[in-house]
Amino acid sequence: MRLNIHDRFNQELPADPVLTPSRRQVTEAAFSFVTPRVPSAPRLRHAVTEVAEMLGLAPTDLNGDTFRRVFSGGEVIAGTRPYAMCYGGHQFGNWAGQLGDGRAINLAEVEHRGQHWTLQLKGAGETPYSRTADGLAVLRSSVREHLCSEAMHHLGVPTTRSLCLLTTGDQVLRDVMYDGNPEMETGAVVCRVAASFIRFGSFEILAARNDLATLRQLADYTIRHHYPEIQAENQADTKASYGHFFHAVCQRTLTMIVHWQRVGFVHGVMNTDNMSIHGDTIDYGPYGWLEGFDPDWTPNTTDRSHRRYQFGNQPKIALWNLLQLANALYPLVGDAAPFQAALQEYQDDFSREYTNMQASKIGLTHANQAANEADEELISQLDTVLQLTETDMTIFFRLLADVRKSSNVSAGRDFLAPVIDAFYDPESLTDEMIEQWRAWFSLYLQRLNQSEESDAMRRERMNRVNPKYVLRNYIAQLAIDAADQGDDSLIAELYELLRDPYAEQPERQKWFAKRPEWARHKVGCSMLSCSS
């Protein structure tokens, strides 16, 4: 197994001089060197050939002993030094101080085909940032992270990737039922891959400590390696480059959030330490997928009372998080104007991009501004009718593509036939609700009939933005339950399914189904906590 190692982060930025994993505040440094924990009996449970190839590995490498040892933490790759990154963050709206990679260890950076990747193990043991926890991860949360990272990538959502999932052979104590009765669970490690794992919190911790020298070093480093176009354009004016960097992060974050809203993804813990400066989705913890369309929904039990991170709040939480990044970068510029302008632009652009995305989900094309305003009304009314009774978001939008322009909505309930499978309980649709749906469909059909486009063409466009298959929590839980019994076949099957989420895949049609009733209140199937 040969990787083309090309480390930059741990070569160019200041290191913590202390080499033990003792918990501590790490100052004037961007990271600490650490050694991953050696697992007792590592076993590969699933690997992604496509990610391996992206890193320059051969498919045959995946079955080797070296691969198993390296990606479980048992062997350090020659010519590199693993490290944990120092960062802080705002958690649930409050400044939490130093957090850092408490259970993530960066193994190395790799260059392949002109692209640069950081490999990071999650769950490979203690670091100076582990605080009161053990540095480990369990099979349950690791299956969720591994499958969802790849599912998101294939949905077209910017995300960290996952190379592989291994179990360590060690047991880990966790309170899965959240009832104060912890149990032993199977320990696991996932290898994440991203351009870098620099987070908003990486800048925040340095600004909070007024460590402007390291803050400037980190900002310059990030621009130099990850936003080189900004450096090229602002050679003579580094202050301006920080503003441009912030603007670029705003735009990438916007793109990521519009995608989340498109596919019905709820991150669950949008703390600033979980915001990547690349606009990648990072940290698949208590995430979930909207089943019944409900903007107030969050899968995170820890957030059930305030619902800060509920689906409908994600765009404005991203804005709030960006504001924290602006505050952290401000000392480098000394002028609020570029930050204010970028934040304003985020808001303006977001509302336009969001409407365009929603319009594409219902198959509209925009010819002129007037049509746009009418479409906004149609979109907002859809938001209302979707919440009249529990209506599955993924299934509804997918089935909506089958509606014909020639449909007759004038009487009865038959007009709902194409989308009826999206309702969790079609019997609960009252006459009044049917009339509201009728009103919406009348407007919708009128709008569709303004266009010459055929039903088939529209259907094809809609099916490219409305996925057929997403990783519903209960589906992930089925794979976890099987893996707990040593059977990894469902992980492999779901991986294949989610590699092509917009395709019909008739042989896998059973996964195009509403969440079954047994899963409604089962732990792991609809609700999760941060503790994993």
Q: Which residue positions form the known binding site? A: 100, 102-103, 122, 134-135, 192, 199, 274, 283
Measured CA to CA, the distance from residue 299 to residue 286 in angstroms comes to 6
Measured CA to CA, the distance from residue 529 to residue 523 in angstroms comes to 9
In DSSP terms, 343 is beta-bridged to none
In DSSP terms, 31 is beta-bridged to 15, 85
Of residues 16, 61, 101, 303, which one binds ligand ATP by CB under 6 A?
101
If one asks whether residue 136 binds ligand ATP (CB under 6 A), the answer comes out as yes
Nearer Cβ to ligand ATP (64/102): 102
Structure token digits, residue 114: 């002109």
Least distance (Å) between residue 189 CB and ligand ATP: 12
Structure token digits, residue 381: 């009314």
Q: Give catalytic residue positions.
A: 273
If one asks whether residue 422 binds ligand ATP (CB under 6 A), the answer comes out as no
If one asks whether residue 188 binds ligand ATP (CB under 6 A), the answer comes out as no
Nearer Cβ to ligand ATP (102/331): 102
Nearer Cβ to ligand ATP (126/375): 126
If one asks whether residue 125 binds ligand ATP (CB under 6 A), the answer comes out as no
If one asks whether residue 135 binds ligand ATP (CB under 6 A), the answer comes out as yes
Which segment (46-54, 129-137, 228-236, 251-259) binds ligand ATP by CB under 6 A? 129-137
Least distance (Å) between residue 243 CB and ligand ATP: 27
Residue type, 491: I
DSSP H or E stretch at residue 157: none
Nearest to 392 by CA among 432, 434, 427, 425: 425
In DSSP terms, 423 is beta-bridged to 391
- Alpha helices in 362-413, H assignment, sequence order: 369-385, 393-400
If one asks whether residue 36 binds ligand ATP (CB under 6 A), the answer comes out as no
Helix (DSSP H) and strand (DSSP E) numbers for the chain: 16, 12
Measured CA to CA, the distance from residue 220 to residue 12 in angstroms comes to 11
Interface positions, 338-397, toward ligand ATP (CB under 6 A)? none
Q: Would you say 147 and 531 are in contact if contact means Cβ atoms under 8 Å apart? A: no
Which segment (27-35, 130-138, 324-332, 358-366) binds ligand ATP by CB under 6 A? 130-138
Measured CA to CA, the distance from residue 382 to residue 377 in angstroms comes to 9
Which segment (126-134, 204-212, 294-302, 467-475) binds ligand ATP by CB under 6 A? 126-134
Least distance (Å) between residue 282 CB and ligand ATP: 6
Nearer Cβ to ligand ATP (82/100): 100
If one asks whether residue 134 binds ligand ATP (CB under 6 A), the answer comes out as yes
Q: Would you say 164 and 71 are in contact if contact means Cβ atoms under 8 Å apart? A: yes
At residue 186, φ and ψ (nearest 5 deg) are -75, 125
Which segment (50-58, 122-130, 440-448, 450-458) binds ligand ATP by CB under 6 A? 122-130
Residue with token string 């909506």: 400
Interface positions, 244-303, toward ligand ATP (CB under 6 A)? 269, 273-274, 283, 285
Largest CA distance in the chain: 76
Least distance (Å) between residue 128 CB and ligand ATP: 11
Least distance (Å) between residue 133 CB and ligand ATP: 3
Of residues 14, 56, 102, 295, which one binds ligand ATP by CB under 6 A?
102
Residue 313 buriedness (CB in 10 A; 0-12 / 13-18 / 19+): middle
If one asks whether residue 519 binds ligand ATP (CB under 6 A), the answer comes out as no
Measured CA to CA, the distance from residue 69 to residue 72 in angstroms comes to 5
How many of the other CB atoms lie within 10 Å of CB of 58?
A: 12
Least distance (Å) between residue 100 CB and ligand ATP: 5
Nearer Cβ to ligand ATP (268/467): 268
Q: Would you say 350 and 255 are in contact if contact means Cβ atoms under 8 Å apart? A: no
Number of residues near ligand ATP (by CB under 6 A): 19
Three-state secondary-structure class, residue 404: coil
**What Rg do the C-alpha atoms of the chain give, in angstroms?**
24
Least distance (Å) between residue 211 CB and ligand ATP: 19
If one asks whether residue 104 binds ligand ATP (CB under 6 A), the answer comes out as yes
Binding residues for Mg(2+): 274, 283
Overall size of the chain counted in residues: 532
Q: Name every residue whose Cβ is closer than 8 Å to that of residue 449 and which is 6 or more positions away in sequence.
A: 405
Q: CB nearest ligand ATP: which residue?
A: 102
If one asks whether residue 143 binds ligand ATP (CB under 6 A), the answer comes out as no
Nearer Cβ to ligand ATP (134/500): 134
Residues of the shown chain interacting with ligand ATP in the complex, contacts defined by CB under 6 A: 99-104, 122, 129-130, 133-136, 269, 273-274, 283, 285, 530
